[in-house]
Each structure stands twice: as structure tokens, then as C-alpha cells.
Amino acid sequence: MTEHPVHEAPRPEWHQTAFTVPPAHQADRIPDTLAYVVRPSPARAIGAGLGFGFAWSVLMSVAWWFRLDAPDAALATALTLVFGVVLFGGFMALFMTIGGPLLACDEHGVWLRSRKFPVRALWLPWEAVRGMRLKRWGGDRALCVEPFDSHAGRGGALTALEHAQSRLMVGTRLTMSTLIADRPTPELIAAIAHYSRGRIHVQG
């Protein structure tokens, strides 16, 4: 009896060639030379900073009226409003605008801040990103980035503290505030969908 050779069906190309995802890496600043760049808007940052300062001042002022006599409470309230709105608000605005772009992307991947201050930038190829979604917190809509590698962007006590705070507020470590961005949120989501070319799940 003659045995006939068995011919196996050709395997898909992706089985024949191993694909290596380019590694993520960090830098001190997001480059502004990519196809799509999101920067802090000074006007929006000032508005947000003054808003945070005023809210903090109101909370502190309420506490003064419970702890002090009326004349002292009135003086403390006035000083708190000046300090909170001018100094605290101004610091918050400066804090949000320094350090270069908030995000940049092209057809290869995305840069975002892995730490807000001092700024630390993280590069992720699209193949290393599980997905992106918008999550509302307070008056902001944070762009939440979920990498496949749970260790991406980690490093140092300051980063760990910021990541813990971010996870508590919106449920993920890596975020970008759309509140102070110089690009409209729908445009940002459309740009991410365009440059990622279906490689990640984007939820607007």
C-alpha cells in the first residue's frame, strides 16, 4: 500500500514571523514634533486654578466660622480668600501649564505624562495600549489610558503617590485632564481613533 504525503495548509504569516511590540520608555518631556499634539491652554489652566483656589477657600472659611468668634472668623475668611484664590489658584495654574505638552500621538504610538509634577513622559506604542476612555470626575473629563503592562510608567515614590491618587479618583493610573487641554475633547478622541487605526479600543 502506497502512503501519500500529507500536505499541511500554509500557516498564516503572523504564525511564521514573530512580532515584537516596541518597548515603552520614559523621558523628561513629551516631544512636540508628532503629528497631533495637545498642550495646556493657559486661559483654561488659570480658570481651573482659580476655581480650585476658590473652592478650597470656601471650605476653609466655613471651618473658621465654626472655630472662631465672628470678628476673628471674618478676618480669617478674608485672608483665606486672598490666599486661596491668588496664591493657591495661581500655583495650580502654573502647576498645570509647565512641563510641555499633555499628550502627543502619531501612527506609531502615544506620549502622555506618567507623572504630572515633576513631569515625567511615557511613550507607549499602540500595540502596548489596551484602550482609552473618558471618565468624568468633578468638573473634569479625564482621558484614562490602560496599558497592557501594569508596570508601564511606574518609578519612584512621587509617581506611586500620584498613581494611587489617580486610581482612587478615576480608577486608573495614567490619565490626561481634558479640562485644561487646548484641543476640544471630540477632536482629541477622533485623533486617537485615527492614528491608532483600530489597534486599541477608544471609548468617548
Give, in degrees to the nearest 5, the angle at Cα 85 between 82 and 88: 105
22 or 171, higher pLDDT:
171
* CATH fold for the domain made of 25-40+100-203: PH-domain like (2.30.29)
Q: Which of 5-9, 10-14, 174-178 has the lowest mean pLDDT?
A: 10-14
Reported pTM: 0.74
Give the start-to-end residue ranges of the domains of the chain: 25-40+100-203, 45-97
Q: What is the bridge-based pairing of β-strands 129-137 and 201-203?
A: parallel
The confidence band for 22, taking pLDDT boundaries of 50, 70 and 90, is low
Determine if the peptide bond prior to 118 is cis (ω within 30°): yes
Q: Are 178 and 140 in contact (CB under 8 A)?
A: yes
pLDDT tens for each residue of 96-135 = 778 899 999 999 999 999 998 889 999 999 999 999 999 9
Q: Are 193 and 105 in contact (CB under 8 A)?
A: no
Residue 135: Cβ within 10 Å count: 15
- Between helix 70-82 and helix 42-67 the angle, nearest 10°, is 170
pLDDT tens for each residue of 28-76 = 999 999 999 999 998 888 887 778 778 877 877 787 777 777 777 778 8
In sequence order, the 6+-apart residues with CB closer than 8 A to the CB of 117 are 95, 98, 99
Of the candidates 104, 55, 100, the one whose C-alpha atom is nearest the C-alpha of residue 81 is 55
Q: Which residues pair with 25 in a beta bridge?
A: 123
